[in-house]
Structure 1
Amino acid sequence: MPQKIKPTGRQKSIFFIHVIVFAIATVVMVMIHKEQGREHWAYPWHAWIIAAWGLSLLGHGCATFFSVEDKGHQEYKRQEVNG
């Protein structure tokens, strides 16, 4: 059974920076949308951006914390080098 790969400190810090930037950008986009919709209805454009970015953040989190080793990768690299 493949072994789980522990994320490095650098991988964790990059992920958490991604989370912080996402949170700040989300708040800013929601504030802009509220300002746009103050006098009339405004299309919720920010929801699409937040959803897409959130999905990529989910993928980033899965890649960071739930990666498993691929035993065949070393064999592939060996064959690639040796021809």
Structure 2
Amino acid sequence: MTPECSTKSAGTVPWQPLLLPLQILSLGSGHPAYNGFSNPPSLVSTPSMPPRWPRQPDRNDPAYRRLDDRMNFAMHVAIFAASNSGLWFFQNLQAQEWPWATWVTLGWGIGLLGHGLFIFAIARYTKSSS
């Protein structure tokens, strides 16, 4: 004999109202909550991935240069975060007396701060003549 779970009301679970939007999407026009649109409304708008530049990429274009520099800075931040979390993990794992990860993080953080300062405060994005 197997034990059975008893619930207060048969067929309902506490999180069932959270499933209603997904049920509307999956059932389409057969669902009573469907409002008659040609397609069921989506829960999340889907952007085109990867992002596309609307015209031919050119480093002489100031808008493209600004976007490219900011994307490079975002990659720099992501690599900094991922690498330093790994460095600190191994630093704590080894329990070294000399805190080498502190100096790596400090040096790289200063470089990252300089990169951000240049991108967001110093760089001038004007049309360059070549």
| TM-score normalized by the length of structure 1 | 0.67
Task: Specify the alignment match of 2:100 in structure 1.
Answer: 45
Task: Specify the alignment match of 2:84 in structure 1.
Answer: 26
Give distance in 2, aligned partners of 1:52 and 1:33: 16
CA deviations over 1:4-45 (Å, ceiling 9, x no partner): x986110000000000000001100000011101xxx53210
Runs (4+) of structure 1 moved beyond 6 Å? none
Q: Over alpha carbons, which structure has the higher Rg?
A: 2
Task: Specify the alignment match of 1:57 in structure 2.
Answer: 112
Two-structure CA RMSD over aligned residues (Å):
2.1
Contact 1:11 1:64 in 2 (8 A): yes
Amino acid in the other structure paired with 2:75: I
Structure 1: unaligned runs, 5 residues or longer: 70-83
- Quote the offset at 1:68 in angstroms: 5.3
Amino acid in the other structure paired with 1:55: I
Contact 1:36 1:42 in 2 (8 A): no
Task: Specify the alignment match of 2:74 in structure 1.
Answer: 16
Give distance in 2, aligned partners of 1:25 and 1:49: 10
Identity over aligned pairs, percent:
27
Which of the pair is proportionally richer in helix? 1
Structure 1 counterpart SS, 2:97: coil
Give distance in 1, aligned partners of 2:123 and 2:70: 16
Q: Cα–Cα, structure 1 residues 28 and 16, in superposed 2: closer, same or farther, change >3 Å?
A: same
Task: Specify the alignment match of 2:37 in structure 1.
Answer: none
